Every structure is written in structure tokens, then in C-alpha cells.
């Protein structure tokens, strides 16, 4: 298991997947099933077993190459789940290195492979270029972006919390 996340690898893989799928504009989340299918995976929306339905957002079964998504989650969360599990697959994480995706996941304090998968999902669903393009298109400047996190989240088809994580991450990198 890697001890530190390889963010650069995650970013490059997400970008090349977007190129392969010829996706140039948001929302990527509405194409996320097609992207997963193009990599040979199946996506199944399912009712999770009762005892874990409140806790599990998704799980990837390596044997059947299927991403199971909790049907009770909101669509934006489901899109993140698919992108995150797809991340485990394309980043070639071993099945024993990660478990199911918990519903109330902390995107910051998790294992290196989870961080990599989260970063992959962020780059896939909210590519920096598309975010910059949207900011330019809608004349959103500087710190004003904090006022539009919710609207931009809807525009990109992701949760507001995830959009905030992405914006803060990019601010930190700049």
C-alpha cells in the first residue's frame, strides 16, 4: 500500500480519461456512467443491505467489475461515488487496500489510496480547466467564488461540500 498519495498520477489519469471520452464542458457527472462503462465497468444502482444502508454510499466489486451505488443517495453524491470507485480501478488499487465508501466520508483525513481516489474524482468531475472556464464565462472573480459554491456545484453536478473541497484545494495549490 502506498504511504503517500500520488496526486499527480491521479490528476493525469483523470485528464486523459476526459480526453478519451471527448468531454470538454460540464457537467461531467451526467457522463460518469458512460466513462465507467468505457473502462469495462458496470454501474448498478442498488438498495444497500438494511444494516448498512445508512452508512454505505458505494462499493466496487473487482470480481464482477461492478460499482454498486446506494440508490438512496442524492444524484450528486452518487456521481461522486462512481467517480471515486472508478478512481480505485484506474489507479490500480488492490482490493484489500480499500473498503466500501462510507456515506459520511471525511475527504481529508483518510488513507493514501482514499485520498488518491478522492483527488481523482475531484479532477474528473471538476477539472481545473473547466472550473477556470466557468469562472471566466460567468465573470466570477477572486474571492467572489465563495458566494457561488452552491450554484457552481449544481452547474458541475457535484455536492456543495465537494465543490468547496475542490475550490479550497486549488486555492491551496496556487
Task: Summarize as ranges the residues that interact with another protein (CB under 8 A).
Answer: 26-27, 29-30, 33, 44-49, 51-52, 55-56, 59, 61, 64, 68, 71, 73-80, 95, 99-100, 102-107, 134, 137-139, 144, 147-157, 159-162, 165
| φ and ψ at residue 69, rounded to 5 degrees | -115, 135
> How far apart are the C-alpha atoms of 134 and 58, rounded to whole Å?
30
**CB-wise, 103 or 115, nearer to another protein?**
103
CB atoms within 10 A of CB 119: 25
CA–CA distance, 138 with 50 (Å, rounded to integer): 44
Residue among 36, 165, 16 at smallest CA distance from 8: 16
Q: Between 40 and 142, name the residue whose CB sits nearer to another protein.
A: 142
Cβ closest to another protein, residue 13 vs residue 103? 103
Least CB distance to another protein at residue 128 (A): 18
In whole angstroms, how close is the CB of 85 to another protein at the nearest point?
11
Q: What's the DSSP call for residue 3? A: S
DSSP tag of 23: -
Minimum CB distance to another protein smaller for 41 or for 59: 59
- Shortest CB 6 distance to another protein, Å: 22
Q: All 3 cell numbers of residue 90? A: 484506474
Rounded least distance, CB 161 to another protein, Å: 4
Amino acid at each position: 500500500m502506498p504511504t503517500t498519495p500520488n496526486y499527480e498520477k491521479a490528476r493525469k489519469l483523470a485528464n486523459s480519461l476526459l480526453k478519451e471520452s471527448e468531454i470538454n464542458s460540464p457537467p461531467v457527472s451526467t457522463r460518469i456512467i458512460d466513462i465507467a462503462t468505457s473502462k469495462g465497468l458496470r454501474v448498478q444502482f442498488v438498495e444497500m443491505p438494511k444494516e448498512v444502508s445508512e452508512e454505505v454510499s458505494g462499493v466496487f466489486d473487482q470480481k464482477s467489475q461492478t460499482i454498486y451505488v446506494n440508490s438512496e443517495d442524492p444524484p450528486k453524491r452518487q456521481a461522486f461515488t462512481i467517480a471515486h470507485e472508478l478512481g480505485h480501478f484506474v489507479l490500480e488499487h488492490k482490493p484489500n487496500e480499500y473498503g466500501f465508501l462510507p456515506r459520511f466520508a471525511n475527504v481529508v483525513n483518510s488513507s493514501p489510496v482514499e485520498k488518491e481516489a478522492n483527488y481523482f474524482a475531484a479532477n474528473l468531475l471538476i477539472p481545473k480547466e473547466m472550473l477556470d472556464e466557468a469562472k471566466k464565462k460567468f465573470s466570477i472573480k477572486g474571492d467572489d467564488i465563495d458566494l457561488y459554491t452552491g450554484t457552481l456545484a449544481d452547474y458541475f453536478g457535484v455536492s456543495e461540500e465537494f465543490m468547496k473541497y475542490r475550490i479550497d484545494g486549488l486555492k491551496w495549490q496556487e
